[in-house]
Structure 1
Amino acid sequence: MSSPPELRLLGHFQLEWQAEPVELCRNGQRLLAFVALRRHVSRTVLAGTLWPEVTEEHARGSLRTTLWKLPRGEQPLIRCSGDSLVTADALHVDVHAFTETALDVVQRCGPPVTTGLPQGLLRGEDLLPGWDEEWVRLERERLRQLRLHALDALAEALVREGRPALALEAAWESVRTEPLRESAHRAAVSAHLAEGNLNEAVRHYRSYQRLLREELGVEPSPRFTRMLARHGWRSPGVTPD
């Protein structure tokens, strides 16, 4: 049985067919990436987005030429559906697999106890690095935010499940991605507290407090401070809930 085509957009662009890399011209890469991300897009939107500085007629001509140059196997990578273009059902796109994993974690607030850390969340590869088109930047930021929310939810769930070491791994991935994000630091402190390491929790809190003061001139939220107060640590003006 032939293996289905695979499209990688995280980390770098790579198309594989029959387990072999397939070279595409730059326009072919852009077209396939755009349609794969959207799954279903009209010809007008596609042509206007990829060739915005030419006439509509010229843009549609460039679209037809680029489509014609795409490789064809048992079925095309992109098929027509009326005035729209749709990716082949068999095409596996890593972005969709990542999105499904992240949304599953967010919706369920983490994995069942028997599973480990979802590796797709830990790798943290950017979407098409080096591509500076606006449509790529928007999608890149969407995926970054989704990953951060999934990592926070994963860390919190792992703390509840009694796996603080894995919770710290997830929390630190979020911290490394966005060092000023308080929810990630709260998740790390929760993991320390779950292990009974109040000293580590306070040290982490104070490090984050210094970072906020230096970068933004603000303090951590009262919610964050009360987390430590509930475990016996006292900060001026803050009492446990």
Structure 2
Amino acid sequence: MSEVRVVQIALLGEAQVSVTEGPARRVGGPRVRMLLALLALEPGRPVRCESLIDTIWGDDPPADPANALQTLVKRLRAVLPHGVAVEFVAVAYRLAIDADDIDIHRFVRLAGEGHELLAAGAASPAARTLDAALGLWRGAAFADLTDVPELCWHADRWNELRLDAIETRADAYLSLGRGPELAASLERELRLQPLRESLAARAIRVLAAGGRQGRARVVFESTRHLLRAELGVSPSPELARARDELDWLPEYSDSRLAVRRTGSIERVRDLPGIAALPDSALPAQCQGLGGQCPRWSFRPFESE
């Protein structure tokens, strides 16, 4: 396996740069951080001085904006990692760095690869790739630049891409029988995004996969009530399907069912409560297989 390069510039959280020895170093000075972010958004490409000045100082530019920008560039050059340069090109500045050495761009690449791998049926490498993508996050995107209007759109975009990656990783984990590992993290994300129905649907599925059907129903009802109270709408088809899937599972005395990965094919229809169901009502992994389900095993959850 090839060695993973260290991120040189990190913006998924507070702005940081790597150093030769010791932990990453936070970039001081709000305008220096702003300049770093604006150049890092376009690695290897010139960003016009006029655009940089307008974004950094807005309606209150300094008396000599070109000189003030030069001073900021000098301060930024002083904190950049070895081998990373800010170059002057005609009437613009360019950050000379590979895009993959900046966490925001590496995340986009890895998240895209994870989506493609899962779509191709490669759940295991998809899960690993999405784990690596999400592991780059230390906080909200551009966390110490939230007062810069021009960067807010970019922050919203990356934060939305992160949620997409979280949901795709949940799908990959579920297909591997590892869904329950994400239950706590998905519920935590749902508390921050309580109206995101696609996230609630994943939370319901991973809870059910761990035998926590009762908790899954609570999540559904809480989301349904909030959607009605806040937006005046009913659950989306995606969220409703996640709720309906709970009824496909047999009811045991403790109302819990564990789902685990196995290396063999299981006869799902031999389980109580499953035999009478039509094939279309089986979990997606089992449909069209005559009741045989690869990679999944359904068993009553042991009482705690």
Shorter-chain TM-score bucket reads 0.7 to 0.9
Counterparts of 1:1-20 in structure 2, within 5 Å, are: 6-19=8-21
Residue in 2 that maps onto 1:204: 219
Residue in 1 that maps onto 2:134: 121
RMSD: 3.5
**What do residues 40-59 of structure 1 show as CA deviations (whole Å, max 9, x unaligned)?**
32222222221222569833
Residue in 2 that maps onto 1:66: 72
**What do residues 119-164 of structure 1 show as CA deviations (whole Å, max 9, x unaligned)?**
6526561123343011221111011100011111111122122222
Which SS does the other structure have where 2:159 is aligned? Answer: helix
1:86 to 73, 90, 94: 94
Residue 213 of structure 1 and its aligned partner are, at CA, apart by: 2.6
Change (3 A) 1:68 1:48: same
Which SS does the other structure have where 1:38 is aligned? Answer: coil
After the TM superposition, which of the residue ranges 159-168 and 51-60 deviates more from structure 2?
Answer: 51-60
Change (3 A) 1:219 1:63: same
Residue 195 of structure 1 and its aligned partner are, at CA, apart by: 4.6
Which SS does the other structure have where 2:94 is aligned? Answer: strand
2:41 to 1, 19, 37: 37
**Using the alignment, how far apart are the partners of 2:96 and 2:10 within structure 1?**
15
The TM-score normalised by the length of structure 2 is 0.63
**Using the alignment, how far apart are the partners of 2:205 and 2:174 within structure 1?**
7
Residue in 2 that maps onto 1:236: none
Q: Count the aligned residue pairs.
A: 233
Q: Identity of counterpart residues, as a percentage?
A: 24
Residue in 1 that maps onto 2:236: 221
Residue 187 of structure 1 and its aligned partner are, at CA, apart by: 0.9
Which SS does the other structure have where 2:140 is aligned? Answer: coil
Instruction: In structure 1, list runs of 5 or more residues that go unmatched.
Output: 234-239
Change (3 A) 1:99 1:137: same
Which SS does the other structure have where 2:64 is aligned? Answer: helix
Change (3 A) 1:55 1:129: closer
Residue in 2 that maps onto 1:141: 156
**Using the alignment, how far apart are the partners of 1:176 and 1:101 within structure 2?**
26
Which SS does the other structure have where 1:79 is aligned? Answer: strand
Residue 118 of structure 1 and its aligned partner are, at CA, apart by: 1.5
- Could you say which structure has the larger radius of gyration? 2
Residue 35 of structure 1 and its aligned partner are, at CA, apart by: 0.5
The TM-score normalised by the length of structure 1 is 0.77
**Using the alignment, how far apart are the partners of 1:191 and 1:4 within structure 2?**
32
Instruction: In structure 2, list runs of 5 or more residues that go unmatched.
Output: 249-279, 282-304
